[in-house]
Amino acid sequence: MKYEPPLEKISVNIRETVLGQGEKSVKIGGENTLPFHSFEGSLPNSAGLALEVLDTQPENWAPSVLEPFEDVVSDPVKWAKKCVEVYGAEMLCLRLLSTDPMGKDRSPEEAAEITKKVTDAVDVPFIVWGTDMEDKDAQVLMQVARVCSGKNLLLGPVVKGNYEKIAKAALEHGHAVVAQASMDANLTKELNIALCKFFPPEKIVVDPTASALGYGLEYTFSIIEEIKQFGLVDKDKMMQMPILCDFGGDCWRTKEAKESREQGILWEAISGITFLLAGANLLVFRHPESLKLIKEMVI
């Protein structure tokens, strides 16, 4: 008698989200099975892999992670071009770090002008990220949405205290949003429900927040896994959004990563592959060699 292995067939899909425009646009999500379970279902899209770019020269970066960009860190346009042309990045995450009220406190208008220059310079999809300061992020991302109208950016983070303002601007100007609820699947669902009252669910990516290897990664893993299973196994429509993990900064702040270049690259790459195994659909890296390792493993 021929042995037939038991297979788990899932009748629903994670929503597919399209980021960017034209030939360089990227699709994430769309799967109807658990991570890497191609023998049980469909995994139509590879994970989105992004490199980060800062809008201001970084401070206190480890020399080994600063080295690949040391000739361009004073110019975000050149930095973005190097990520794409030299390191092969297919997506970028532009961090508007200079808008932090506790730092340079750059205005929303200045931030939007920088964002437009960078996104005009390279034709890959962009995540545009604030500083986790609710009120300032709302002002900045609303202005970015207007100035970069039609570019289909992924704007974030959108949280409970500012989601309505940012999401309405994103909806008006043709962008997607990152719904962030820290380390809690139930809060993730609550925010998704609130957003979906007026915002298309296929334009939402969720961020449960991510930790580095050795610094809470296992808890992050369990939350991502829980969100994915709520969406696929329990067929919860409010949990069927693609998942983003933004962890490069946390990896390179660890003492282990700072000890050596090789160890730092592996620290970030191991964190990344772990999140893909948990169910992440979009990863943000800091070091191009970590990105390269992940590409070799999964593509």
Answer whether residue 168 is part of any domain: yes
Q: Is residue 99 part of a domain?
A: yes
pLDDT of residue 109: 98
Query: What is the percent of the chain where pLDDT is above 70?
Result: 100
> What is this structure's pTM?
0.97
The enclosing domain of 132 has a CATH number of: 3.20.20.20
Given this model, what pLDDT does residue 141 score?
98
Each residue's pLDDT tens digit, 258-269: 999 999 999 999
pLDDT for 72 equals: 98
Q: Is residue 10 part of a domain?
A: no
H/E/C letters for each residue in the chain? Answer: CCCCCCCCCCCCCCCEEEECCHHHCEEEECCCCCCCCCCCCCCCCCCEEEEEEECCCCCCCCHHHHHHHCCCCCCHHHHHHHHHHCCCCCEEEEECHHHCCCCCCCCHHHHHHHHHHHHHHCCCCEEEECCCCHHHHHHHHHHHHHHCCCCCCEEEEECCCCHHHHHHHHHHHCCEEEEECCCCHHHHHHHHHHHCCCCCHHHEEEECCCCCCCCCHHHHHHHHHHHHHHHHCCCCHHHCCCEEEECHHHHHHCHHHHHCHHHHHHHHHHHHHHHHHHCCCEEEECCHHHHHHHHHHHC
Residue 5 belongs to a domain: no
257: tokens are 């990563």
On whether residue 245 sits in a domain, the answer given is yes
pLDDT value at 199 more than 80: yes
**Closest of 241, 248, 292, 240 to residue 267, by C-alpha:** 248
What are 121-158's pLDDT values in tens digits? 999 999 999 999 999 999 999 999 999 999 999 999 99
In a domain? residue 43: yes
**Around 101, how many Cα atoms within 13 Å sit in the side-chain half-sphere?**
9
Query: Is the pLDDT assigned to residue 55 strictly greater than 90?
Result: yes
pLDDT (average), residues 190-203: 98
In 3D space, the residue among 85, 137, 144 whose CA is nearest the CA of residue 113 turns out to be: 144
Q: Is 227 within 8 Å of 206 (Cβ atoms)?
A: yes
Q: Domain count of the chain?
A: 1
Cα angle vertex 27, ends 21, 31, to 5°? 165
Question: Does residue 53 sit within a domain?
Answer: yes
pLDDT on residue 6: 87
Higher pLDDT, 124 or 8: 124
Q: What's the 3-state SS for 100-158?
A: CCCCCCCCHHHHHHHHHHHHHHCCCCEEEECCCCHHHHHHHHHHHHHHCCCCCCEEEEE
Does some domain include residue 7? no
> What's the average model confidence in pLDDT over 12-37?
97
- Please tell me the predicted confidence (pLDDT) of residue 5: 83
Q: Are 127 and 50 in contact (CB under 8 A)?
A: yes
Domain that holds residue 169: 16-298
Q: 219-249 pLDDT, tens per residue?
A: 999 999 999 999 999 999 999 999 999 999 9
Please tell me the distance from the alpha carbon of residue 151 to that of residue 130, in angstroms, as a whole number.
17
